[in-house]
Amino acid sequence: MKRWTAACLAAALACTAPLASAQMGTRAYAPENLSQLSGNDRARVISQEYADQSNGRRIPDDQLRFYLDQVNSGWGFSRIKQDIATSLRGNGGGSGWNGGNGGWNGPGERGTVRCESNDRRERSCPTGWRNARLVRQISGTQCVEGRTWGMRNGSIWVNGGCRAEFAEARGHGWGGGNAGNNGYSVTCSSNDRRRQTCGWERRQGRPVLIEQLSGTACVEGRNWGYDGNAVWVSGGCRARFGAR
């Protein structure tokens, strides 16, 4: 009887192994499509994956919220794992989300730089660029150019809890809160996560994101873009766009 009971218990544990592994502190396992899981299980496997990669550290709340939002935007588990690795890169994988180098993870694979204000303190991330543009907001705190981030002497500065990825802006004369070369800007908002189209003057050139107004990260090609005569936003993105 004891042998039969032990066998049944082993079989039961095997059936629950995919999510039990995350609960028991072993290597996190989940389907590629995390939307198949409940909200609690999504949070559990992402938190465990972060702990696995960072030698047991707890994932920051705003980073976890960011990943949960991206699941709704179509990110798979492998992409989240890769992004966690990127966020920990350069510090041995054990110094946490903000890194041991002042919150700077260096140039990314697509020419981006991640700069982060830890404990709302100001950080400076050297880039050698003349101008920068916000590519992806990571923090729950809004990143507003000229208020919580900007350019200074070839470096990006962030403060007030702003955490974001930036890319080089090729235009001249915009930055520090300006709306572009000539002050032209358009604010476009996705209400209730619906797609919204806002008119854009073609002669102004291609728009760039200059101020994110939503808690949802605005990422070009995913929840905002340009089709020649208009800027479109979706998925809760609200932002101000200026001329390149």
Boundaries of every domain in the chain: 35-95, 104-168, 185-243
pLDDT tens for the 244 residues of the chain, in order: 444 444 443 443 333 334 434 443 445 467 899 988 998 999 999 999 989 988 888 887 777 877 887 787 778 898 888 888 877 663 333 333 333 333 334 444 457 888 988 778 899 999 888 888 888 788 877 788 888 899 888 899 999 988 888 888 765 333 334 444 567 889 999 988 899 999 999 888 888 888 888 878 788 888 999 988 899 999 989 888 888 6
pLDDT score, position 93: 32
Q: How far apart are CA 156 and CA 129, in angstroms?
A: 9
pLDDT score, position 70: 79
The count of other CB atoms within 10 Å of the CB of residue 106 is 15
Distances (CA, A) of 95 to 19, 25, 183, 228: 26, 19, 41, 44
Distances (CA, A) of 65 to 68, 140, 238: 5, 8, 18
pLDDT score, position 3: 47
pLDDT score, position 19: 44
Rg of the Cα atoms in the chain: 21
Q: Cβ contacts of residue 198 below 8 Å, gap of 6+? A: 186, 187, 188, 230, 231, 232, 233
Q: How far apart are CA 242 and CA 232, in angstroms?
A: 14
Answer whether 211's CB lies under 8 Å from 188's CB.
no
Tokens 């702003």 belong to which residue? Answer: 162
pLDDT score, position 196: 92
Q: 237 burial class (0-12, 13-18, 19+ CB within 10 angstroms)? A: buried
Q: Kind and range of the H or E element at 134?
A: strand 132-137
pLDDT score, position 159: 92
Instruction: State whether residue 15 is helix, strand or coil.
Output: helix
Question: CA triplet 241, 170, 134: central angle to 5 degrees?
Answer: 45
